[in-house]
Structure 1
Amino acid sequence: MADPNKVYPTGLTLAEAEELHGHVIFGARVFAAIAVVAHILAYLFTPWLH
């Protein structure tokens, strides 16, 4: 029978899955912050967007 501590279908425990999810969310936030800065810089330094 399947281990009740594992999260289907990954085989991770709930604590492992939550830790991995935290890393994914942090990475998405870092990516979004870099994208926002890049868009601001593109707007400021591209004369035809003004």
Structure 2
Amino acid sequence: MADPNKVYPTGLTLAEAEELHGYVINGTRTFGAIAVLAHVLAYAFTPWLH
């Protein structure tokens, strides 16, 4: 019988899945912030975009 503490099909427990999800969300936010900064800098220092 399936273990009710596991989140299938990954085999992680609910706590492990939530922890992993937190890392994914934080990584996405960090990537997004760096991407926004890069776009702002590209706009500010690229004369043909003005």
TM-score normalised by the chain length of structure 1: 0.98
Structure 1: where are the runs of 5+ without partners?
none
Paired position in structure 2 for 1:45: 45
SS of residue paired to 1:19: helix
TM-score normalised by the chain length of structure 2: 0.98
Q: Which amino acid aligns with 1:15?
A: A
Q: Percent identity?
A: 84
Distance 1:17 1:11 in 2: 9
Count of aligned pairs: 50
Q: What root-mean-square deviation, in Å, do the aligned CA atoms of Structure 1 and Structure 2 show?
A: 0.3
